Structure 1
Amino acid sequence: MNTIYYIGHSSEGFNDGGQSRNKAFATYFIQKGAVIVPVYSTNHFVRFGFLLAVLKIMLFSKNNTFFIHQGTLLVLFPLPLLGFNLIRKVVFGILQHTSKRNDVTIEVNDLPYEQAKDLELPVSEISKVFQDKLYALQNVKYVFASHEMGKYINETFPLQYEVIINGSNAVHTNFDSEELPACFSSAETKFIYAGGLNKGRQIEALLSHFNNRKEILILIGEWGEWLSDYKLPDNVFYLGKFKEDYAHYLTAKCDVGIIPYEASRFYYNVCYPTKASFYIAAGIPFLSTPLLELKNIFEKTGMVYFVPFADWGRFIDDFDSTGLQDIKEKIAVEKHNFYWDALLSQY
């Protein structure tokens, strides 16, 4: 009898795209009756036990199905360990052994090496070695989080893959009895940025476009503590981080989501930001720089505004709030297509 092994990990956090994706896949495989194999624990002894359990399954399994997240492999085998040539050979030898005897799929949410370069994060050359060896495995299928990502990898490593973009859940309304932050009472158009607020994501440049305006800008997400010491304009509100359900509820109370990523950077053009589906599932359009993967999906839908970042000031000046309701009605019809249930039903 064929056994499905789902090897994944998750941790609590605000609207983190990778974790949201992992949780959605885990739920899907639980519903399919898969054997869920955990790999992460804050207790190092427990974590080592998980590693031994995974290695045992990989070494002795035959004619079964494996689904493994790329990020989960890095939890099992951290990059510092993979920096040792012998360990790297053993790890990829085991993966190749498993794929020859079983049906193995690896899910790829991002490209850590390219992401680090474009987000001006510390770049690990070992991550490039890891990626190259991972995509060169034989008899392995892949699931990418964007079409452009799959095309980019397939140019160097011809492989068998499909695409499942990042999705979202329906908005929970069980917060209706709670009092909203004061900024939501404004009658002005409310723009919202929901996601990571580290400085590498054009947040300071975004603030400059909303300086001295009547329109409201709301910022929610992790890594925004530096904003507490930043002199924000009176129309800009940093609310902090929240659990995903409540953040989604707040987003649905706004008018337009925001994706301000620098369109000249390679990684932003090949990734599919989780916040795109997050906004659509919340029932609101979003304003984005003209990013290739997002344009592929949304350009002809009438649900998204694609504007070069330099022209955002003019766009906000000329924003047609009267037509917003028509766009929201269109999104209300289409948003279920961006729910995780609908996206994973294709898999």
Structure 2
Amino acid sequence: MPNSKLRIGIAGAGHFGRYHALKVAASSRCRLTGIFDPDLERAKTVGWEAGAKQVCFEDLLNLSDALIVAAPAEAHYSLAAQALSAGKHVLVEKPIAASLAQADELGALAKQRGLVLQVGHLERFSAAYQAMAGRIGAPLYIEATRIAPFKPRGTDVSVILDLMIHDLDLVLALVDSEIDSVDALGAAVASRHEDIANARLRFRNGAVATITASRISPRTERRMRIFGQDCYIAADFSARKLTVIARVPAEAGSPPGGQQPVPGIAGFAHEDVSWDDHDSLAAEHAAFAASVLDGAPVLVDAAVGRRALAAALAVGENMRQSREKMAASGLIDVAGPADNLSA
């Protein structure tokens, strides 16, 4: 359909569903066909704002070429599977599904029917990721922190699937190796699921990543540090700033333009890099439309979504094992407040 607008329906009228609806409505390549949500009033409200009607799921499928699934995580598999089975392209929010078996089934459905299945790992389309990815070779160590104040939204899943999965996906994109082992600990504080979590990942190639996520912090902070053999990068996502220290190639003789020598460290140069934030969600939608309308490669496909989900599930399972060890040793009282540890 190279000369047609892509007809997109939204399944899920919550916080992100509303954003998706507004982006589709503003797109020059797409047309918003309708909004589905079990909460009819919410669907009507978002539909009114975005200029589309509230419809049942069956009608949404009939009206659309593609669906954006922005419902709660436990509904991702069911809604995406129904859409793919009906021959519709799908952009499903992260996580792709609740289990690896479900993720595999969605991937197989899309492949069998020749449909686009894109997973909403939004950070892949951010200016920050693009600024980092081009400046590091093979990372040896990555340290990521993503913390924020508490909000009831997103607490239907643990902080692993809510926040940490963003950095898990970025780490997996930067480290070209399989995960060898996971050591993790988390605690449920304000919800039924973990609200804080820390995980240390070791990869088969020897690289290590430490990731911290919290949704009960007094402030918002998003940082990442990456160490390579010849390069160090410190990223402050809130300040939109990279600090890069890298070895100067011997043939260059002196640091390239914009870089300064590092005092006391011969052969290395320092550079401060900033970026202008762009609309990552609009970029994600543009990539989805390009894959459907133009046949462009799917940047964040089912395999990418499955890999991030597998890492998140491994972190969650190791948390459960850690809790059992602490309970067996008497470190925590399973009948007391510490029983909130892990799920």
- TM-score class, shorter-chain normalisation, is 0.3 to 0.5
TM-score computed with the length of structure 1 as normaliser = 0.34
TM-score computed with the length of structure 2 as normaliser = 0.35
Higher helix share: 1
